[in-house]
Amino acid sequence: MANRTLASRKQTVIAIFLVIGFIYLVRLFYIQVIDKSYTLSANNNVLRYVTQYPARGLIYDRNGKLLVYNEAVYDLMVLPRQVKEIDTAEFCRLLEITREGFIERMEKAMNYSKYKPSLFEKQISKETYGYLEEKMYRFPGFFVQPRTIRFYPKPIGAHLFGYVGEVTQGLIDKNPYYRSGDYIGVSGIEKSYEEELRGIKGMKIRMVDVHNREVGSFQEGRFDSAAIMGQDLYLSIDADLQEYGELLMQGKMGSVVAIEPSTGEILAFLSSPGYDPNLLVGRVRGKNFKLLSGDPIKPLLNRAMAGTYPPGSTFKMVNDLVGLQEGLLDLDTRYSCQGKTSSPIRCTHTHQSPLNVLVAIQQSCNPFHWQVFRTIITNGGQGGIRNNYVSWRDHVMSLGFGHKLGTDLQFELSGNIPSAEKFDAIYGKGHWNAMTVRSLSIGQGEILVTPLQLANYAAVMANRGYYIVPHVVKSIGELKKKSGDFNKVVSTIDKSHFEIAVEGMRQVATLGTARWYQIDSVTMCGKTGTAENPHGDDHSLFMAFAPADNPRIAIAVIIENAGFGSLWALPVASLMIEKYITGKVNRPDVEEKMLNTKLY
């Protein structure tokens, strides 16, 4: 009985061992024959993982003209643990670097990781790569990774396009998509539409022999993934108008923004002085960025939406519109003007007196608009000066001032329409009135606007009371899907009141301060402005739209320290309007003066 029990236990133990052995055999067969992931791990020491960087999407203007494309360059990568004894002198000669530079780069790579590839030298040209490729077998641990950089066929639109730069460690920590050595949009369209433009990275696994030479794809490319190019962008910008505007603004500080009123599409967007966007591409980017950053005329500053200015007389129709809306102004309302002896704000023009709102806009009468403002703040129906001011400010902000418009470009400033709380803090609650803040009546004092806001204001006038949020991208990708939902914003002013203000603007262009720059066959509605500047000479401003009926373009021009709006901003704007609507310019004398005059 005992022998039978012992035999039974022996068979059971043998069976258990056989089962375990069978399981191990099956598992080993699976690992070695079926599952290739372990093969991948075992062969890491002879495999090279090469990131396939996608080309960024191309950028076109509204008429299909190519504005931004890509050119091939090559990054030299290093895997420190594979670097053996190499001819350092020959290596440095090929790359045109010093021995100290070689040591510095190697130390940086070692500090990053001995086992992971890192960037040794970025953006090697095609010519240098051609020489280097023939001798790569002599430099184990180094390999080349292709990628693309931006190129601009015309040196325009630098502030609009922005630029691409190397990703920072802080962003790498926040976004797992990026790795050291990757590039990202830093400003302009490149930043706003980074996710659409960047594409999707791929990966190639290559087998490498003992001489650092690639001998083929691993597993016939079974584990490779292809890079997917970024999506193309189709802009609302008219490249010809943009280029013409930049020519007119050479030698002048300021900006020009032009908008299609019916859609909110930005037709031209420029800041001057500008720079050739090709300067911030490739290996020279760092050097050129430092030079541009240190330039006292600040070519990197995007004045179109990061510059703020008093709007001056261009703001006068705003007060008229509020007065009309509140029932405190109509066509029969007349105020007197004593010209230069007027008080508390003198007039800078000679004209009839008393005058109504149309003549006041046409002649840019300061005393008239001061009295309109005083009536709004003092006699408004909101229950006291402070409440009347709050109501006035709400109307003004509904026209697109004092807040970001929400455009699809980065770093937009809000400008400033001072709040009642601000004046309470300065003067004390109950201790200020219309007289205290009288400069606001003529677009001075604490009021600040950006050129983008001023152009948008022209679009509001063109549309008789509303605007579509300004934007620069019409569509994305081959199917040209719309770039986004840009809202229609309706002001608090009734449409009927805009007809009066628009008629005043038409008379500015035909009878008033802008009459010298009328355009044949095109009726322009506009307003000049001369904004006092506490830091120097006055700024020259002009905002307009055309034609008067069914407007196609709204525009704002600001030229810093240039004096009267009618002298410089007005002719630049009128030339651009003529160029856009008629396709040519028939005033060579005006054009030549603007092209050849340098104001700084």
Q: How far apart are CA 73 and CA 96, in angstroms?
A: 16
The more confident residue out of 30 and 92 is: 92
Residue 548 parent element (H or E) = none
Average pLDDT on 501-514 reads 94
User: How would you class 228 by CB atoms within 10 Å of its CB: exposed for 0-12, middle for 13-18, buried for 19 or more?
Assistant: middle
Taking a C-beta distance cutoff of 8 angstroms, is the pair 118, 110 a contact? no
Q: How far apart are CA 536 and CA 549, in angstroms?
A: 38
Partner residues linked to 225 by β-bridges: 203
Q: How far apart are CA 446 and CA 437, in angstroms?
A: 9
Preceding amide of 354 cis, omega within 30: yes
Q: How far apart are CA 14 and CA 220, in angstroms?
A: 44
Q: Which two tokens mark 274?
A: 């500008």
Determine the 3-state secondary structure of 585 from DSSP.
coil
Q: Does residue 528 surpass a pLDDT of 60?
A: yes
**pLDDT tens sequence across 338-396:** 989 999 999 988 899 999 999 999 999 999 999 999 999 999 999 999 999 999 999 99
Average pLDDT on 267-287 reads 94
Taking a C-beta distance cutoff of 8 angstroms, is the pair 244, 579 a contact? yes
CATH architecture of the domain 71-233 equals: Alpha-Beta Complex (3.90)
Q: Does residue 208 surpass a pLDDT of 80?
A: no
Q: How far apart are CA 118 and CA 180, in angstroms?
A: 7
Please give the model's pTM, rounded to 2 decimal places: 0.87
Region of poorest pLDDT, from 196-210, 259-273, 277-291, 331-345: 196-210
Taking a C-beta distance cutoff of 8 angstroms, is the pair 276, 101 a contact? no
Q: How far apart are CA 321 and CA 39, in angstroms?
A: 77
Average pLDDT on 501-505 reads 97
Q: Does residue 224 surpass a pLDDT of 50?
A: yes
Q: Which two tokens mark 149?
A: 């950089």
**pLDDT tens sequence across 462-492:** 999 999 999 999 999 977 777 677 899 999 9
Of 313, 333, 314, the closest CA to residue 324 belongs to 333
Taking a C-beta distance cutoff of 8 angstroms, is the pair 296, 526 a contact? no
Mean pLDDT of the chain: 91
Taking a C-beta distance cutoff of 8 angstroms, is the pair 55, 70 a contact? yes
Residue 441 parent element (H or E) = none
Q: Which two tokens mark 467?
A: 């605007």
For 59, 315, 322, 547, the CA distances from 509, given in Å and listed in that order, are: 37, 16, 23, 12
Q: Does residue 213 surpass a pLDDT of 70?
A: no
**pLDDT tens sequence across 76-101:** 999 898 888 889 999 999 888 999 99
Tell me whether domains 71-233 and 239-596 share a fold.
Answer: no
How far separated are the first and last CA of the chain, in Å rounded? Answer: 116
* The predicted structure's pLDDT at residue 35: 58
> Residue ranges per domain, the chain?
71-233, 239-596
Determine the 3-state secondary structure of 81 from DSSP.
helix
Q: Does residue 33 surpass a pLDDT of 80?
A: no
The more confident residue out of 122 and 190 is: 190
Q: Does residue 45 surpass a pLDDT of 70?
A: no
* The predicted structure's pLDDT at residue 264: 97
**pLDDT tens sequence across 235-245:** 999 999 999 99
* Interior/surface letters 556-575, b for 16+ CB within 10 angstroms, e for the rest: bbbbbbbebbbbbbbbbbbb
CATH code of domain 239-596: 3.40.710.10
Of 461, 486, 493, the closest CA to residue 472 belongs to 486
* The predicted structure's pLDDT at residue 42: 47
Average pLDDT on 553-566 reads 96
Collect all residues with Cβ–Cβ distance below 8 Å to 220 and sequence separation of at least 6.
none
Q: How far apart are CA 391 and CA 450, in angstroms?
A: 22
* The predicted structure's pLDDT at residue 423: 97
Q: Does residue 7 surpass a pLDDT of 90?
A: no
